[in-house]
């Protein structure tokens, strides 16, 4: 054959492939999630999330010290507690494990660490819902108020990034107004902008002990049949003062990430969620995939779709094993 174009020319060896690769995964833009619980000297591996632990502040501090040496500088903290009530009081009080952890981490590691914290009520409400319930319905506006107080308490403790994952309407604006009013002008808001109601959150709900006791989250998280609606959420969060906008989950939602890329100039984050992580771990356990290659493939695909920041439970494994350099 006499062919003018032969796309395979560019694929002929690793040097031509390197020269023409369109996407590079940057490990400096990955964020490792952690679960912080009450108590002392607690470090329990989470059922369904191999290699990820629920830790008390003292133990977490040691883990993060060693993770820092590996090169993990960006972290996201999730709280776990048994202290739950109707108004999610423990989300914002002194004893909240995330607030305690942030104070300790800032004291020990200062600005070597960029600390993000989840802003949501589901770990703190007795119903397990992300907002507060009144007469069996979620009270959106009251929830936004309580979330704003939680964000303020986190900012006061030294948190660099507050990350509302609750999906209440108007909460980004409410949080931004509260932060501004209290002079926390530099606290970033990483909004869970398009957070879908997803079966990929299963292992996380074990981890955070945050599954709703009754009902589901379809009244506030997005319906996976919807794509345009994500643009409505994007416009709102941008207008309300989000600094970073997130799509969650990642792998089954690459179209949404790509839409974000075309419709905003803000940094886009994607959450490579617990079920996506554990799916890889299970394939690997059954000898059906190479973990190093599959992890890099997944994270590169998320990057290719348009995310510049990825929250992923794989980060420690990547750095420990140098998978990104292979
Ligand atoms: C709670 C929250 C969830 C996740 C992050 N924040 C679970 C949920 O909404 O049910 C999921 C993260 C993961 O699965 O890794 N608002
Ligand atoms: Zn929640």
Measured from the Cβ of residue 243, the count of other Cβ atoms closer than 10 Å reads 17
Q: How far is the CA of 96 from the centre of ligand 1 (A)?
A: 18
User: Mean pLDDT across the stretch 170-199?
Assistant: 98
- In the chain, what are the domain boundaries? 26-325
Q: Is the pLDDT of residue 180 over 90?
A: yes
Q: Is the CB of 202 under 6 A from ligand 1?
A: no
If one residue of 166, 208, 218, 252 were mutated to test the ligand 1 pocket, choosing by the most ligand atoms within 8 A of its CB, it would be 208
What are φ and ψ of residue 237, in 5° steps?
Answer: -65, -35
Q: Is the pLDDT of residue 22 over 80?
A: yes
Whether domain 26-325 has CATH 3.30.1330.40: the reply is: no
Confirm if 257 and 247 have CB atoms less than 8 A apart.
yes
Distance CA 48, CA 281 (A): 10
Q: How far is the CA of 286 from the centre of ligand 1 (A)?
A: 26
Confirm if 313 and 274 have CB atoms less than 8 A apart.
yes
Distance CA 176, CA 182 (A): 10
- The set of residues, in sequence order, having a beta carbon less than 8 Å from that of 94 and lying 6+ positions away, is none
Distance CA 126, CA 209 (A): 11
What are φ and ψ of residue 48, in 5° steps?
Answer: 95, -5
Classify residue 43 as left (phi > 0), alpha (psi -120 to 50) or beta.
Answer: beta
Q: Is the CB of 165 under 6 A from ligand 1?
A: yes
Q: What is the pLDDT of residues 230-283, one digit of tens each?
A: 999 999 999 999 999 999 999 999 999 999 999 999 999 999 999 999 999 999
Q: Is the CB of 118 under 6 A from ligand 1?
A: yes
Proximal ligand: closest to the CA of 124: 2
Q: Is the pLDDT of residue 57 over 80?
A: yes
User: Mean pLDDT across the stretch 90-102?
Assistant: 97
Average pLDDT over all residues of the chain: 97
Task: Report how far apart, in Å, the C-alpha atoms of 63 and of each of 42, 52, 67, 88, 161 are.
Answer: 12, 11, 6, 28, 20
Model confidence, pTM = 0.97
Q: How far is the CA of 261 from the centre of ligand 1 (A)?
A: 23
Q: Is the CB of 201 under 6 A from ligand 1?
A: yes
Distance CA 240, CA 72 (A): 30
Q: Is the CB of 37 under 6 A from ligand 1?
A: no
Task: Report how far apart, in Å, the C-alpha atoms of 208 and of each of 27, 46, 171, 202, 248 are.
Answer: 26, 9, 22, 10, 17
Q: How far is the CA of 130 from the centre of ligand 1 (A)?
A: 10
Q: Which residues are annotated as catalytic?
A: 195, 248
Atom number in ligand 1 closest to CA 78: 6
Confidence bin at 210 (pLDDT 50/70/90): confident
Q: What is the pLDDT of residues 124-162, one digit of tens each?
A: 999 999 999 999 999 999 999 999 999 999 999 999 999
Which residues hold their Cβ within 5 A of ligand 2, which is an ion?
120, 122, 130
């Amino acid at each position: 054959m006499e062919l003018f174009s032969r796309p395979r020319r560019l694929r002929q060896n690793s040097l031509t492939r390197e020269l023409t690769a369109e996407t590079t995964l940057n490990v400096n833009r990955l964020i490792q999630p952690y679960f912080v619980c009450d108590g002392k000297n607690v470090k329990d591996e989470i059922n369904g999330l191999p290699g990820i632990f629920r830790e008390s502040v003292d133990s977490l501090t040691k883990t993060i010290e060693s993770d820092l040496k590996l090169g993990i500088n960006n972290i996201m903290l999730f709280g776990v507690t048994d202290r739950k009530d109707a108004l999610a009081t423990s989300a914002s009080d002194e004893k909240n494990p995330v607030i305690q952890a942030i104070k300790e981490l800032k004291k020990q590691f200062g600005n070597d660490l960029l600390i993000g914290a989840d802003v949501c009520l589901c770990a703190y409400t007795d119903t397990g819902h992300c907002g507060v319930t009144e007469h069996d319905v979620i009270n959106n506006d009251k929830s936004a108020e309580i979330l704003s107080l939680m964000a303020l308490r986190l900012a006061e403790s030294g948190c660099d990034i507050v990350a509302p994952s609750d999906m209440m309407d108007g909460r980004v604006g409410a949080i931004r107004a509260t932060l501004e009013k209290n002079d926390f002008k530099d606290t970033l808001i990483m909004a869970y902008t398009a957070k879908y109601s997803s079966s990929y959150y299963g292992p996380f709900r074990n981890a955070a002990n945050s599954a709703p006791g009754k009902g589901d989250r379809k009244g506030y998280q997005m319906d996976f049949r919807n794509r345009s609606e994500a643009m409505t959420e994007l416009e709102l969060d941008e207008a309300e003062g989000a600094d970073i906008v997130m799509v969650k989950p990642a792998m089954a939602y690459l179209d949404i990430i790509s839409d974000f890329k075309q419709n905003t100039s803000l940094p886009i984050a994607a959450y490579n969620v617990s079920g996506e992580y554990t799916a890889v771990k299970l394939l690997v356990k059954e000898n059906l995939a190479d973990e190093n290659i599959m992890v890099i493939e997944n994270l590169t695909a998320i990057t290719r779709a348009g995310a510049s920041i990825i929250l992923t439970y794989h980060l420690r494994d990547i750095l420990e094993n140098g998978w990104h350099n292979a």
